[in-house]
Each structure stands twice: as C-alpha cells, then as structure tokens.
C-alpha cells in the first residue's frame, strides 16, 4: 500500500475528535438535556472509538509503563472530580481502560514469555477484574459503585488488541460490542454504528500532537457540564 493510499481515511486524532464530540453530547444528555434520547444515541459512538484507540495505543506506544501511568493518572483525576463534585463512587471510562491495558500487557507478556506463571497470573487477573466489575457493585449495593461498561467493556480493547490485522480487529470489535450490547441492552446497540467510522482509520496519528488535550479535556468537561447543570 503506497503512502498516498495510506493518507486517505481518518487519523487517530480525527477518530478521537469524533469520539470527543459524541461523548460531550452524551454527557450533556445525562446532566442537562435529560429528555434528549438523541444525544444519548449519538453518545454511543464514543466508547467503541476510544476502545479501538486504546488498543492501538497499546500496540504503538514506545513506553508501556508511561502509557499506563498516564491513563491511571487521568483516571485518578476524574475519580476525584466524581467523588468531590458529585459525591459519586461511579468509576469512569479511564478506570475501565486502565483495567483493559493491564490485562493486555499481562497476556502479551504471557504469550511472549511462554511462562506458565504469567498465564496463571493472567487468569487470576481476569477473575479479579470480573469480581470488581460484576460482583463488587452488588456487594456495595448501597452506593453507586460501578466500573463504566462493566467486564464486557473492559474486554473490548483486549479483544481488538489481540486480533491480527485490521479486518480481524473490526470483526473482534463487532463481536465485543455485540456482547456489550447484549449485556447493557437498550440504546447500546447504536454503538455498532461506530464501526464504519473506525473502518476509515488510516493507521496514522495525525499531524498535530493532541495527546495531552484529550487527557485534559475529559475531567475538565465533566466539571463544566456538572457546573452548568447546577446553574440551569
């Protein structure tokens, strides 16, 4: 494939901007325009796109520890916003993706090292994540504790990452998102409309370095939307 052909399509930055807009509209629908189902439907595009870029990030990052630390620090910042501003124990999407990254790195190490110890650790990790995402919320039923999108959501970037080639990754995404939609139900089925957008991904980052913008935007937009909801 020539560089000219590769230049067509959407860069990672472009995908993330689409997801960012969809996510913002979704959160406006949650906090402000609560009667607008259309905003919530548009918002279903965000998670699949971000999940795909997380899988790509795990593939292309030059420093895995730094990548995980950045996602973890962003998750912590967002949770502080949720806890102090909204008195909520709801775990945001960055917590979901941090768990995805840890699982990806663990099983990637298991595959490459061929050590049974890493496979045992990986299975133990999966069972621990399953407990935290699906059973712990029932134990803490008097709170709103929940990992965003649950265990099915955690596994979406994992399945995409380990699928070989773009066609296989799109198939894995279709399978994983369908399982998530079965699990969540309702308008979550609209998340499948993100797949044609993801299919346009050209494998490039984009000309501008917007990494920190994406990380900073999430907690900031949460604060702004929540503050606006209090004023309306």
Domain assignment of residue 81, given as a range: 3-231
Listed range (112-116, 131-135, 137-141, 166-170) with the worst mean pLDDT? 112-116
Residue 82 has a pLDDT of 85
**What's the helix, strand, coil split of the chain in %, to 5?**
80, 5, 20
Task: Please give the helix or strand (H or E) that residue 147 lies within, else none.
Answer: strand 146-147
Q: What is the mean pLDDT of residues 87-91?
A: 92
pLDDT at 85 over 90: no
97 and 72 Cβ atoms separated by less than 8 Å:
no
pLDDT at 2 over 80: no
What pTM, to 2 d.p., does this model score? Answer: 0.92
Which residues sit opposite 90 in a β-bridge? 146
Residue with tokens 């840890």: 102
Separation of alpha carbons 149 and 136, rounded Å: 14
Handedness of CA 97, 103, 109, 111 (dihedral sign): negative
Residue 7 has a pLDDT of 57
Based on the structure, what is the number of domains in the chain? 1
> Could you tell me which of 127, 126, 107 has the C-alpha nearest to residue 117?
107
């Amino acid at each position: 494939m020539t560089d000219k052909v590769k230049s067509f399509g959407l860069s990672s930055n472009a995908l993330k901007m689409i997801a960012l807009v969809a996510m913002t509209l979704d959160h406006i629908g949650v906090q402000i325009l609560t009667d607008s189902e259309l905003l919530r439907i548009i918002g279903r595009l965000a998670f699949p796109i971000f999940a795909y870029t997380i899988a790509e990030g795990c593939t292309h990052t030059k420093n895995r520890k730094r990548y995980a630390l950045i996602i973890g620090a962003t998750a912590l910042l967002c949770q502080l916003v949720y806890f102090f501003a909204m008195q909520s124990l709801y775990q945001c999407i960055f917590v979901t993706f941090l768990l995805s990254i840890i699982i990806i790195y663990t099983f990637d190490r298991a595959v490459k090292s061929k050590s049974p110890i890493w496979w045992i650790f990986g299975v133990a990790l999966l069972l621990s994540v399953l407990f935290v995402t699906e059973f712990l919320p029932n134990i803490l039923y008097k709170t709103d504790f929940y990992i965003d999108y649950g265990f099915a959501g955690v596994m979406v970037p994992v399945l995409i990452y380990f699928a070989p080639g773009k066609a296989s990754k799109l198939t894995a995404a279709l399978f994983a998102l369908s399982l998530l939609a079965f699990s969540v139900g309702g308008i979550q089925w609209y998340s499948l409309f993100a797949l044609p957008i993801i299919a346009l991904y050209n494998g490039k980052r984009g000309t501008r370095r917007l990494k920190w913008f994406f990380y900073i935007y999430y907690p900031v937009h949460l604060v702004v939307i929540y503050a606006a909801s209090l004023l309306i």
